[in-house]
A and B are shown apart, each in its own frame.
Chain A
């Protein structure tokens, strides 16, 4: 494969960041690792991550596998990523503000008009709505992959309702319990201030009409949602109410939650429900997860939604291809983090190239996510390739294509021992009234199958703790 291994070859030159871990892997008897691994699993079961998947009989299978070997980045590596993420999310927010008011980037030809206006995630309801402090994307989960010593690519911008942060926090929690001595030997940057940072970001963007002590609540689709565990976990850590649609009412354009002491005003709603389901009077009329009148209250400026309505347009993979230009246009700087080189199938020449090289490309639906609706050329059967060829010809606008990247690998426990497996990284980028905050690290996802490049948990991926070494 020739993928870049972040530890380096096991036998010889280990990269400096991994020197301590290598010693630890060599010095620790195998049975100690086995014990720790089952303790980790027990911990995840007990705190109830399995509980989130409710199918009582399947709970055991549905635990997302956790690998106890941490993924390590040095401070200098991280600071490039951090600066790149800050720049990108700032540009993303400026882009969103612009397409909903002014549309300068369209007039300047930075992005084609039809990509914006025909995009189902571009919400007309948001045009000229003044969102508090101009922040649209309060929480972003930007997927990053590494291909060599110095190259990080942004793979996807998740600006709607990115999930996974509970795993980032719980992974650290379990590692600190199981391997305190390892933390004594490494100066790992802490991440447990994520919840504090999130809460203060959310409070900072409360609407002007809120009281001095703004009330934040977390809106969940309910206990049958697959991310419910994360919702209740975060509500708990933030110390805010976990509300469902039936807990909220809108009166005279103000949102209240029903409490035992009567209606209580909500100022900021951290919503984990997609736009389409938010308000049955504006979006899908059959939605039972939404709050009738919420959009009206939002447009009246009486509540902040995090993330804002209409951020999904920047998750579109066709819009993604314009991110370098968007960054240049809005920040006047060169992008610090590059995009993966991408062919836009909507462009005739690109489509021709893609159709000729399907067997070695990754083809993605512009609106797909979670690793679905995707063709990995080198791993696909002839029939799958032909099926994508038909899809591409019928609707070229609906797809983009990328080279098959050699994602970096990290040492990972597998049945046969320790072996390299491909990883990606999802850092969580918070934006409040006072700017961007990123806790050092993120969620490392690992493809547990040998050679596999698909890290999504729905497709057999696992997770790791991510360490940023402080000096």
Chain B
């Protein structure tokens, strides 16, 4: 397969996943914003949404105030924000169009249709309710994309590169949320207790759509260390770092077998997965959660570079 084709498929998957992630962040912020401030604390939930999306700097260059209107506009609709839902959908479609013949009709029509439909939404005039429906719609797109890929694509390198892109984006998103919110997960904060922290933790879980999963897995009240465990090490949880790396290792291995050659991507991915499998959450906390996540993000980026060099350029 042409490297460019693989690159387009990889980024198509990443942008679709990123759109979903940004929608979840906005969704969580909306919930937090609708709580009386005695529950959600003094901190501005819209600032926190920007931090989760990792785009505080770009935002500050564009807007003077941080509030619901500006953050909604920036994260969902702004052409100036490279990771806005708008740009993610457009870039997904640009990538899809470039590899039109490598996609199944279902996938192409889904992605093309999404972009065409997006242009019918007018962000400024949306009520909260309409905006919530819009976010639901965005989230349904990633389901459509994954579903149609899963149901219609041949299981060959084209499929593997989309799975790889999706898992890498997910891992990055989950890690970034932990990175900007690690302080609320630290044990010393648990002692502070109170409803404020509870809502911070549930917000994190919502952002990665793991609130229900948490209860199923731990059957316990929300405790920060368990939140961290769920997001980092739990292999049942599809957005955990360990799960994402399982997916990446599996599809990198399939690629290596098909091409008859292993390379830096395979080595880096299985080394990271190995670490995630060997560690217990207590050890991570003992090492320092922040340091651990920072190192992980670096490793994940390094893997991205390795994949790009080995396959995509």
Binding site for B on A (CB under 8 A): 48, 51, 56, 223, 232, 235-236, 241-244, 246-247, 257-261
Contact = CB atoms under 8 A, between A and B. Distances in A.
Interface of B: 1-4, 6, 97-98, 100-101, 116, 119, 157, 161, 255, 259, 261, 311-313
B107 to A, nearest CB: 14
A260 B10 CA distance: 12
Contact of A259 (B3, B97, B261): B3
Main secondary structure of the interface of A (DSSP, over half): mixed
A377 B170 CA distance: 66
Given A235-B101, A236-B101, A260-B259, A247 B3 contact: yes
B101 A258 contact: no
Contact of B4 (A232, A246, A261): A246
B135 to A, nearest CB: 24
A258 B100 contact: no
B2 A258 contact: yes
Nearest to B261: A261
Tell me whether chain B's interface is mostly helix, strand or loop, or mixed: helix
Contacts of B1: 259-261
B306 to A, nearest CB: 13
Given A223-B97, A241-B2, A257-B2, 9 more contacts: A56-B116, A56-B119, A236-B101, A258-B313, A259-B3, A260-B2, A260-B6, A260-B161, A261-B261
Contacts of A235: 101
B3 A223 contact: no
Contact of A232 (B3, B101, B313): B101
Given A232-B100, A235-B101, A247 B259 contact: no
A242 B3 contact: no
Which one of B98, B119, B313 has the greatest number of beta carbons of chain A within 10 Å?
Answer: B98
A174 B261 CA distance: 45
A258 to B, nearest CB: 4
A300 to B, nearest CB: 24
Contacts of A48: 100
A237 to B, nearest CB: 10
30 contacts: A48-B100, A51-B97, A51-B100, A56-B116, A56-B119, A232-B100, A232-B101, A236-B101, A241-B2, A243-B2, A244-B4, A246-B4, A247-B2, A247-B4, A257-B2, A258-B2, A258-B4, A259-B2, A260-B1, A260-B2, A260-B3, A260-B157, A260-B161, A260-B255, A260-B259, A260-B311, A260-B312, A261-B1, A261-B259, A261-B261
A128 to B, nearest CB: 34
A242 B101 contact: yes
Nearest to B108: A48
Contacts of A243: 2
Nearest to A261: B259
